[in-house]
């Protein structure tokens, strides 16, 4: 990492640490959501940005994990130390089943993931004796480990920040590993990778399950923040938004999905305060991204950087 990027990272980290003191609870809450949905977008982007698979079912893992935690904590008084891992496990197991979708490619993969997502939404919505139907499961407590518990949204903000920093580091190791390189090879050409000895279907399946596990972790963070979960968490728009967050921020990068989550959530909260048709604004932002900035915010930053640094150091 060069010095500029290191400095930028440290400034961003300092800003993230100082945020609850500088800004009020509204912005702290918005930032917490940005981290959580950024993590969901990052999980989607493991497939989209690295393997070239456009999944529209990630809300399923997110929601199944959130429901598992909520039901265990609220109805059975299971402690966080068991409920949170159980949530991740449940979401990941579902991903292991939904992973059969990697037998298809391109538009068929997109369609089958949409269909699978609707199955989960349907169950959450209609099986009301278990899921609470439209009301969902409410009164989820803050997480607690042993006698030590989170008592405020500010404390929870720091917990989420710590978790996503660890995830980002782990993700970085993963995409730089031979496994990550293999994914990028498959994105470029699956046939060529097979000729090099890669069992690409197994590789993609593993990526799908890992990605589902990450989405499940985001679901756990979400339910403890939101304090309730209802079928909206499993709905198609959540899956779409997660993918769009990754694209707006910069697909194939780590910071991109988080920036994208910030843009989407920020726009929604800010624009909706004075303009009713905020969804139209969001649509316009997505269209503009696809047309003029296909590499998202990260791509724009890279272009600006290249423009300003060119006079000083001619490229290699």
Note the residues at the interface with other proteins (CB under 8 A).
178-179, 181-182, 184-185, 188-189, 191-200, 203
Burial of 248 (0-12, 13-18, 19+ CB in 10 A): buried
- Considering the complex, state which of residue 198 and residue 228 has its C-beta at the smaller distance from other proteins: 198
- Considering the complex, state which of residue 145 and residue 181 has its C-beta at the smaller distance from other proteins: 181
CB of 215 to other proteins, least distance (A): 24
CB of 163 to other proteins, least distance (A): 29
- By DSSP bridging, strand 144-145 and strand 148-149 are antiparallel
CB of 142 to other proteins, least distance (A): 42
Q: Decide: 224 and 140 in contact? Cβ < 8 Å.
A: yes
- Considering the complex, state which of residue 179 and residue 228 has its C-beta at the smaller distance from other proteins: 179
- Considering the complex, state which of residue 125 and residue 187 has its C-beta at the smaller distance from other proteins: 187
- Considering the complex, state which of residue 277 and residue 306 has its C-beta at the smaller distance from other proteins: 306
Phi, psi (5° rounding) for residue 310? -60, -45
Burial of 101 (0-12, 13-18, 19+ CB in 10 A): buried
CB of 207 to other proteins, least distance (A): 12
C-alpha span between 298 and 243 (Å, rounded): 15
CB of 206 to other proteins, least distance (A): 9
- Considering the complex, state which of residue 184 and residue 268 has its C-beta at the smaller distance from other proteins: 184
Burial 33-64 (b: 16+ CB within 10 A, else e): bbbbbbbbbbbbbbbbbbbbbebbbbbbbbbb
CB of 58 to other proteins, least distance (A): 24
How far are the Cα atoms of 45, 124, 244, 264 from residue 256, in angstroms, in the given order? 10, 31, 11, 12
Phi, psi (5° rounding) for residue 197? 100, 10
Would you state the structure tokens that stand for residue 8, as one six-digit string? 């930028």
CB of 178 to other proteins, least distance (A): 4
Would you state the structure tokens that stand for residue 152, as one six-digit string? 């405020």
Q: Decide: 140 and 84 in contact? Cβ < 8 Å.
A: no
Burial of 159 (0-12, 13-18, 19+ CB in 10 A): middle
CB of 96 to other proteins, least distance (A): 19
- Considering the complex, state which of residue 146 and residue 315 has its C-beta at the smaller distance from other proteins: 315
Phi, psi (5° rounding) for residue 19? -50, -50
- Considering the complex, state which of residue 24 and residue 178 has its C-beta at the smaller distance from other proteins: 178
């Amino acid at each position: 990492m060069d010095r500029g990027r290191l400095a930028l990272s440290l400034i961003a980290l300092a800003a993230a640490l100082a945020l609850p003191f500088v800004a009020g609870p509204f912005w702290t809450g918005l930032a917490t959501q940005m981290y959580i949905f950024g993590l969901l977008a990052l999980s989607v982007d493991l497939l989209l940005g690295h393997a070239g698979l456009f999944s529209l079912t990630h809300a399923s893992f997110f929601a199944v994990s959130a429901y598992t935690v909520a039901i265990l904590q609220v109805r059975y008084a299971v402690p966080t130390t068991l409920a949170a891992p159980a949530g991740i496990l449940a979401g990941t197991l579902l991903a292991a089943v939904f992973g059969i979708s990697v037998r298809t490619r391109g538009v068929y993969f997109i369609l089958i993931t949409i269909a699978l997502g609707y199955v989960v939404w349907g169950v959450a919505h209609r099986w009301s004796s278990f899921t609470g139907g439209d009301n969902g499961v409410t009164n989820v407590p803050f997480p607690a480990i042993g006698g030590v518990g989170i008592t405020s949204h500010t404390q929870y903000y720091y917990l989420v920040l710590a978790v996503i920093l660890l995830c980002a580091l782990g993700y970085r190791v993963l995409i730089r590993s031979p496994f990550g390189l293999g994914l990028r090879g498959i994105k470029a050409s699956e046939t060529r990778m097979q000729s090099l000895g890669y069992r690409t279907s197994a590789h993609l399946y593993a990526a799908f399950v890992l990605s589902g596990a990450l989405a499940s972790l985001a679901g756990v963070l979400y339910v403890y923040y939101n304090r309730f979960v209802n079928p909206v968490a499993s709905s198609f728009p959540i899956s779409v938004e997660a993918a769009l967050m990754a694209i707006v921020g910069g697909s194939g990068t780590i910071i991109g999905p988080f920036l994208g989550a910030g843009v989407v959530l920020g726009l929604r909260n800010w624009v909706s305060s004075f303009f009713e048709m905020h969804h139209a604004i969001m649509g316009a932002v997505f269209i503009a991204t696809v047309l003029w900035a296909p590499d998202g915010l990260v791509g724009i930053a890279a272009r600006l950087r290249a423009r300003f640094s060119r006079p000083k150091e001619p490229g290699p």
